[in-house]
């Protein structure tokens, strides 16, 4: 019976991912749908494995005896899940430790770490309280106005705690890379993360100046994605970001926050496998 539950959860997860397609529309709607398609399937599998482990190897369920195979399978999955989480946390800790060895300066009233490289780079590095990291090349290349726009973009990442949330999303990505459409959905979330930070920055500085900064940084930024890092040049859809900056912002209704809160309710369905514990005797 437990094996049937596991197979059902994996089948539903694969079906959701396989039928997934990158949604269209404004970035708010795209974010909600992409996040659901990316996060719900692995969360469903994780909760199913947790329920099976909690029920153990003894007893019956629905009149059927349970065996040790499903328990062993779920335990291996959860162990693999935890090992990957520890590995990513260790990599993130090393990145943060390396960044904190760089000298700290004051930039427009904000504390920042300076990377000794000529590459153009700016990013937030850390978990819940990330630190701003910029390169010497960026400070030497950008004008004060362009630098201000870059700092506004990075403040957007800080405002939304992107480094913290994307660490956990990255964990899900690593553990369920075998699910269909994991990488396309991950790349979509990265781009939407940047669009959200761009939108925040555009409310603080001239969007045209920010667009110019994007062109300068992204076209000269060889630094790849790192754990616990939200950088200005993340994502490769530069044209999409420039177009969004040059397009007048959409008007948002007063019920936007309520709609976003309601959209999280659907994730409660992923916890339904935990209810099966009640029927285990």
Q: Give the model's pLDDT for residue 218.
A: 76
Q: How far apart are CA 196 and CA 233, in angstroms?
A: 13
Longest dimension (CA), the chain: 72
Rounded to the nearest 5°, which phi and psi values hold at 249? Answer: -65, 145
- Which pTM was predicted? 0.84
The secondary structure of 76-118, three-state, reads HHHHHHHHHHHHHHHHHHHHHHHHHCCCEEEECCEEEEEECCC
Give pLDDT, residue 99.
Answer: 84
DSSP secondary structure letter of residue 219: H
- Compute CA 166 distance to the chain's CA centroid, rounded to the nearest angstrom: 3
What is the structure's pLDDT at 251? 47
> In which region does residue 87 sit, left (phi positive, over 0), alpha (psi from -120 to 50) or beta (all else)?
alpha
- Residue 241 CA from chain centroid, whole number: 18
Q: At 134, give phi and psi (nearest 5°).
A: -130, 160
- Number of domains making up the chain: 1
Q: What pLDDT sits at residue 267?
A: 80
Residue 154 phi, psi dihedral angles, 5° rounding: -65, -30
Query: Would you tell me how many other CB atoms lie within 10 Å of the CB of residue 3?
Result: 15
Instruction: Confirm if 241 and 191 have CB atoms less than 8 A apart.
Output: yes
pLDDT of res. 45: 92
pLDDT of residue 256: 46
- Look at residue 258 in the predicted model and tell me its pLDDT: 47
Return d(Cα 229, Cα 130) in angstroms, integer.
8
User: Residue 6 sits in which domain range?
Assistant: 1-279
Task: Report how far Cα 81 is from the mean position of its chain's Cα atoms.
Answer: 17
The answer to whether 42 touches 179, Cβ cutoff 8 Å, is yes
- The pLDDT, as a whole number, for residue 46 is 92
CA 24 remoteness from chain centre? 19
Please identify every stretch of the chain with a pLDDT value under 50, giving residue numbers as ranges.
Answer: 251-259, 261
For residue 81, CA distances in Å to 87, 154, 192 come to 10, 31, 26
Structure confidence at residue 255 (pLDDT): 43
Q: Length of the chain in residues, anyone?
A: 281
pLDDT of residue 280: 59
């Amino acid at each position: 019976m437990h094996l049937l539950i596991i197979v059902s959860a994996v089948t539903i997860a694969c079906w959701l991912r396989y039928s997934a397609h990158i949604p269209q529309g404004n970035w708010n709607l795209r974010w909600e749908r992409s996040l659901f398609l990316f996060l719900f399937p692995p969360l469903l599998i994780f909760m199913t494995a947790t329920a099976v482990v909690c029920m153990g190897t003894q007893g019956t369920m629905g009149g059927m005896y349970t065996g040790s195979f499903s328990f062993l399978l779920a335990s291996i999955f959860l162990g693999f899940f935890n090992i990957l989480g520890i590995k990513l946390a260790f990599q993130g800790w090393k990145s943060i430790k390396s960044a904190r060895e760089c000298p700290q300066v004051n930039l427009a009233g904000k504390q920042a770490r300076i990377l000794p490289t000529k590459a153009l780079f700016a990013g937030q590095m850390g978990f819940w309280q990330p630190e701003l990291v910029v390169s010497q090349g960026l400070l030497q290349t950008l004008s004060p106005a362009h630098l201000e726009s870059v700092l506004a973009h990075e403040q957007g990442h800080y405002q939304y705690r992107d480094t913290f949330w994307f660490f956990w999303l990255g964990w899900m990505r690593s553990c369920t890379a075998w699910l269909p459409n994991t990488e396309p959905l991950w790349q979509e979330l990265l781009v939407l993360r940047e669009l959200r930070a761009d939108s925040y920055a555009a409310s603080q500085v001239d969007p045209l100046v920010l667009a110019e900064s994007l062109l300068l940084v992204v076209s000269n930024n060889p630094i790849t994605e790192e754990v616990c890092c939200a950088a200005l040049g993340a994502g490769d859809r530069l044209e999409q970001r420039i177009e969004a900056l040059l397009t007048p912002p959409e008007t948002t209704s007063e019920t936007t926050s309520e709609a976003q809160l309601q959209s999280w309710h659907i994730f409660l369905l992923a916890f339904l496998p935990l209810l099966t514990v009640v029927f285990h005797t």
